[in-house]
Every structure is written in C-alpha cells, then in structure tokens.
Chains A and B, each alone.
Chain A
C-alpha cells in the first residue's frame, strides 16, 4: 500500500460521507485497498460501527466494535477492559461447571466420546473444549424447566449439537464476526438464529468483550422476542457481576424478567432500588407509573 493509495481512499470515503455517489470502480478500489491497509480498514469499520450504534447502543462502549484483530490489538484487548469480562464469565462457568462435572463423573464414557473426537482445526478443538465446560452454564440451567432427571439427556443432546456445530461455519468465525452476524440476524427479524449466534459467541469466545455486549443483547432478545424470561434474567445478572456502563439497561432488564416470571417481591425490591439509583431515567418514570412506586 502507498501513501497515495491511502489518500485516495480517504478522499473517496469523505466524498461518500458528504453524500456523493461513488462509481463502481471507486468502490472496488476502496474494497481492495481495505484488504491491503489495516488503518483504512479500521477507519471503515468505525464509520460502519457508528451506524450500528443506532440499533445497538452497546457499540459505542466497545473498542472491539472497530479494533482490528492484529496481534498487538488483540493483546491489548485481552489485557485491558476484558479482564472484567473474564472475571464474570469465569465465575459463571465455574458455578455451572461443578454440577456439570459431577454429571460427567456419572457418565464419563459418553462425554469423553464426544470430546475426544479428532478436531478438524485448532480453533474448532478449542471451541469444543470451552463449550464442553460451558455447556451447562447458568443460562442453560436457567432456561431449563425440565425435571432433574431430564437434564442428562438434554446435556447430551446439547453437547452433540455443539460438537456437530464445531465443524460448521460458525466455528471458524471470530468473536467480532459472530457479533456482527448475530446483529444482522436480529435486524432481519430472525430472533431464534440471532439468539443462537449470541449464545455461540458467549460460549465460544467467553473472554472477548463481544461476549459481554452479547449478554445484554441476548437478554433483550430473550425477553422481547423469545419469551424466555428465565434465560434473560440469567444473562442480565451475568452482566451485572461487573460494573459496566450498561448497568441501567441490565438492571431494568432484570426487573422486567422478574415481572414476567411472576417474582413480584423481587421485582418490587429491585424496582425501588433502580428508582433510587437512577431517579431521572425514563425507565424510572415507567417503573413509578407501572408499579406505583
């Protein structure tokens, strides 16, 4: 790439931003240049990410919405903000891994037969291991309304499905790509598939900042589109284990999930706390009206 090429890319990008229509050749040049130049590609992602913020406010808070996946940036991402995510997701996974581990002890042969299947790629292998540990995360536990005796069968089915997935397209996607995919599916109204993509993101890349954003988006989806308040409650709670800038959204989501679950005492208690902490928010106005606080 040359300085001149970058300058041309910038000029074209600015022209498009001010409303000019670029020719086919100019757009082709831009796309080709973005494949060559990481700086211009990152800038292009910034403008796209700003547009995504219209539908998903979490984009504004996440460097991962635009940051390139170069080794240096990835290391910064890993070391920085995502430490908080690691804490919450590790805690959630550990909380679930204990009963999952106990079940595995009861059925060692079955799980081992899935987990020891030869990996097709390094990434798919790691995805399988991580998923195996997370396959009984609190969200699936929260979702489950089946009696205890039904859980081993459900676990086995889930493990089989995900083991099959590991050779599929989703497993060769990065966290960023999975998040983009989930958002696109959601924007297209394909709620069930979007939720699958979010869950896959959270379980495949549990240490990514995209997974943290995904918790809120997944919770909203489960609450509004999928009628899965228990799962939504879990996802909002997982987010709240670290203090983030989306705390109000997560807490408001929890209150609505508790309402759908008929847990009125907890709903009222959390609503009172919310109104106390965010008195001027629109959600507080709504809670005051709805719950006569």
Chain B
C-alpha cells in the first residue's frame, strides 16, 4: 500500500480513539463529500441534514473497523447508503400518504420551479430535485460519484438492467427539462431585451 492509505489508517485510528484533532481532520477531509452526496441524493438541503448527521454517526461508529482502503471512497459508500436509506424512508412515508401515485414515474420534487419562465437558468440541484427518488439515486451515483453501472447495481441491490434503465430515464428527464429551459430562456431573454 502507498503512503496515503497508511496515513488514512493512522487518521482513522486516532479518530476512533476520540482524538479531537483527528476527528476535525476527518470532518475536513470527507465532510464536503458527505454533504454533497446527501444533498444530491435527497435533492433537498433541509432533508439532507438528517442524513448527514446519520452518516457521521455511522462513520464515527465504524471508523474502528476501517482497514486502510481509500478513505474518501469508504466514506462515500457510507454516505450514499445512508442517504439512500433516508430516501427510501421518505418514499415510504410519501407512499403511505398518497398510495395511488407512481413515484417511479412522477417527479419527486415540487414542480413550481419548473414553471415556464420561472427563475431560468436553474441550479443543478433543482433538476435533481425534479427526478423521482430511484432515478435520482442512480444518476447521482453515476455522474457525481462516478460509479460504474455494475457498482451501482451492487450498492443499491438492484439488477444491472434496472440500473441502466433508471439512468437512461433520469438522463432523458433532465435532458427534457434542460432543453425546455434553454428554449424558454431564448424566448424570455429576447423579449426582455
């Protein structure tokens, strides 16, 4: 193993022993990624806070079993699993409240932001929020975390073909939204000027 993983192992051991400096270093090293994974998978900053907190509990609980692999990759997986668990719980709550909705097909987020002409161009998080949960998870794992389709299949425990299908549908949905916004911007921008 190279020096970097050994450094990670040392950091992990110190953090596991409760060393505040090591814990601070751990927060600084993987904190931004934990945050972005939770926010991107849940599509909502407020809801992501709970997932982030749960991820930190998970990381600090299991840091003693860390064996020296890539630290950020290790933390990424914990963050992704935790965020997906929160997403599933949220979906179950939504299903109980509105069992007639097919959440695989309908957008998960409120569509106010996608009203024609509203606040164009939109931040990336808006487009992610408009995706249904299963599609958003796959899209984030593929494009934000750069996992392969096979890795996503393993992580989400979903067949490869289903992962591929969700990824293509998510991309198609985002593509439609982007192109609609671009068209609206051309119309509204031209009129306003």
Residues of A within 8 A of B (CB): 10, 13-14, 17-19, 38-39, 42-43, 46-47, 49-51, 53-57, 59-68, 70-73, 75-77, 79-80, 224, 245, 278, 280-283, 285-286, 289-290
**In the bound complex, what is the Cα–Cα distance between A66 and B181 (angstroms)?**
12
User: Which residues of chain B are within 8 angstroms of A38 by Cβ–Cβ distance?
Assistant: 182
**In the bound complex, what is the Cα–Cα distance between A70 and B69 (angstroms)?**
45
B contact face: mostly helix, strand, loop, or mixed: helix
Within 8 Å by CB of B40, from A53, A68, A71, A80, lies A53
User: Which residues of chain A are within 8 angstroms of B56 by Cβ–Cβ distance?
Assistant: 282, 285
Structural contact, B189 and A53, CB atoms closer than 8 A: no
Within 8 A of A (CB), among B112-148: 119-125, 127-128, 139-140, 142-146, 148
**In the bound complex, what is the Cα–Cα distance between A283 and B124 (angstroms)?**
25
Within 8 A of A (CB), among B54-70: 56
A62-B123, A67-B121, A245-B45 in contact; A47/B143 too (CB < 8 A)? yes
Interface: B23 (CB within 8 A): yes
**In the bound complex, what is the Cα–Cα distance between A278 and B53 (angstroms)?**
11
For the complex, count residues of B whose C-beta is within 8 A of A: 54
A14-B171, A18-B168 in contact; A61/B185 too (CB < 8 A)? no
Structural contact, B23 and A286, CB atoms closer than 8 A: yes
The 10 A-B residue pairs with the shortest CB-CB distance in the complex, in nearest-first order: A72-B189, A67-B121, A63-B121, A50-B143, A57-B36, A280-B53, A282-B56, A60-B125, A289-B20, A72-B185
Nearest chain A CB to B53's CB is how many angstroms away? 4
Structural contact, A61 and B123, CB atoms closer than 8 A: yes
**In the bound complex, what is the Cα–Cα distance between A66 and B164 (angstroms)?**
24
Q: 11 additional contacts, CB 8 Å, given A282-B52, A286-B20?
A: A39-B179, A43-B175, A53-B36, A53-B40, A57-B36, A63-B121, A70-B185, A72-B189, A281-B52, A282-B27, A282-B31
User: Which residues of chain A are within 8 angstroms of B120 by Cβ–Cβ distance?
Assistant: 73, 76
Structural contact, A77 and B121, CB atoms closer than 8 A: yes
Interface: B35 (CB within 8 A): yes
**In the bound complex, what is the Cα–Cα distance between A50 and B171 (angstroms)?**
12
Interface: B104 (CB within 8 A): no
Nearest chain B CB to A12's CB is how many angstroms away? 12
Listed by A's residue number, 26 A-B pairs whose Cβ atoms lie within 8 Å are A14-B168, A17-B167, A17-B171, A18-B167, A19-B149, A19-B150, A39-B182, A50-B144, A54-B146, A61-B125, A63-B122, A63-B123, A70-B185, A70-B186, A71-B193, A72-B189, A73-B185, A73-B189, A75-B189, A76-B188, A76-B189, A77-B121, A79-B192, A278-B49, A282-B52, A282-B56
Interface: B103 (CB within 8 A): no
Nearest chain A CB to B91's CB is how many angstroms away? 21
**In the bound complex, what is the Cα–Cα distance between A230 and B24 (angstroms)?**
21
Interface: B32 (CB within 8 A): yes
Chain B window 29-47, contacts with chain A (Cβ cutoff 8 Å), 1 for yes, 0 for no = 0011111100110000100
Nearest chain A CB to B114's CB is how many angstroms away? 13
User: Which residues of chain A are within 8 angstroms of B119 by Cβ–Cβ distance?
Assistant: 80
- B34 (CB) vs chain A CBs: closest residue: A282
Interface: B28 (CB within 8 A): yes
A contact face: mostly helix, strand, loop, or mixed: helix
Within 8 Å by CB of A57, from B24, B32, B49, B193, lies B32
User: Which residues of chain B are within 8 angstroms of A71 by Cβ–Cβ distance?
Assistant: 189, 193
Nearest chain B CB to A210's CB is how many angstroms away? 13
Structural contact, A60 and B168, CB atoms closer than 8 A: no
Within 8 Å by CB of B35, from A50, A57, A80, A280, lies A57
A72-B186, A77-B121, A289-B20 in contact; A283/B168 too (CB < 8 A)? no
Structural contact, A280 and B167, CB atoms closer than 8 A: no
User: Which residues of chain A are within 8 angstroms of B150 by Cβ–Cβ distance?
Assistant: 19
Structural contact, A51 and B178, CB atoms closer than 8 A: no
**In the bound complex, what is the Cα–Cα distance between A290 and B27 (angstroms)?**
12
- A6 (CB) vs chain B CBs: closest residue: B179
User: Which residues of chain B are within 8 angstroms of A60 by Cβ–Cβ distance?
Assistant: 36, 39-40, 123-125, 128
A54-B36, A57-B35, A286-B23 in contact; A280/B124 too (CB < 8 A)? no
Nearest chain A CB to B160's CB is how many angstroms away? 10
Which of A72, A278, A289, A290 has the largest count of B CB atoms less than 10 A from its CB? A72
Nearest chain A CB to B72's CB is how many angstroms away? 9
User: Which residues of chain A are within 8 angstroms of B167 by Cβ–Cβ distance?
Assistant: 17-18
Within 8 Å by CB of B144, from A13, A42, A51, A73, lies A51
**In the bound complex, what is the Cα–Cα distance between A39 and B168 (angstroms)?**
18
